[in-house]
Amino acid sequence: MSSYTRVALVTGANKGIGFAIARDLCREFPGDVLLTARDEARGRAAVQQLQAEGLSPRFHQLDIDDLQSIRALRDFLRKEYGGLNVLVNNAGIAFKTDDPTPFDIQAEMTVKTNFFATRNVCNELLPIVKPHGRVVNVSSSQGSQALENCSEDLQEKFRCETLTEEDLVDLMKKFVEDTKNEVHEREGWPSSAYGVSKLGVTVLSRILARRLEEKRKADRILLNACCPGWVKTDLGGAHASRKVEEGAETPVYLALLPPDATEPHGQLVCDKVVQNW
């Protein structure tokens, strides 16, 4: 296995925070950096931009909403690298606050991509992550905010240490169903589809980390969720307080945790500091 080149992969890396993460990893990661994007032309343009800066990322197409696309990437990683060393799940969507799309459609689409598609990437790629691998799920403090705005009953469920992945999936499906039936507020949900989707990502990260601890403890893989902060991107908008370079700092820090590190693991990390859950 050791004859393989090391490889780090960033999803949704053609712009914004994902692009900044890929750039930093090109500078600091000792191996290949795979920049992935749904749109091949945009992805290749991003690669060219980094090449113009003297960096050398590789490109691979990935649409996280498409299971076949995820599996094609998995097969490529297996064949080319014998697995994966670093996975940064950054791809995600958000509707603008003034978007006229009905709330239930926003909820369905946002949860589908940010939670379910990210979960699919984890389920397909975690089995090929090598010992001492690092997995970073880009979440958001809006997820923590959404948790605070949930009913006490829902808060208890999301915070439960024994919550299973199946339980979490049921909760996320219930949110979408409740918005369709226009009862989400009555059922204790906040009115932020993005917040709930990222709450799902944070809790999923805790569950997956626990599973790694149980099944692959000796491999010392560290998996965390992080909040990049409010960043000037297409998603964050022009009024955000941070530049993309600053938004990339914590994800890159988690991606490059030294091989002998034992923590953080299964945490939500903001500004390189573990957050209380």
Exposed, middle or buried, 135 (CB in 10 Å: 0-12/13-18/19+)?
buried
> What is the separation of C-alpha 153 from the centre of its chain, rounded to a whole number of angstroms?
26
Measured CA to CA, the distance from residue 63 to residue 251 in angstroms comes to: 21
Measured CA to CA, the distance from residue 55 to residue 32 in angstroms comes to: 11
Q: Is 253 a catalytic residue?
A: no
Phi-psi region of 75 (alpha: psi -120 to 50; beta: other; left: phi over 0): alpha
Q: Which of 4, 81, 194, 253 is catalytic?
A: 194
268: Cβ–Cβ under 8 A, 6 or more apart, which residues? 139, 143, 144, 202, 205, 224, 225, 226, 227, 274, 275, 277
217: Cβ–Cβ under 8 A, 6 or more apart, which residues? none
Cα 217 to Cα 160, 165, 221, 264, 276: the distances in Å are 22, 19, 8, 14, 24
How many other C-beta atoms are found inside a 10 Å radius of the C-beta of residue 112? 15
Catalytic machinery residues: 194
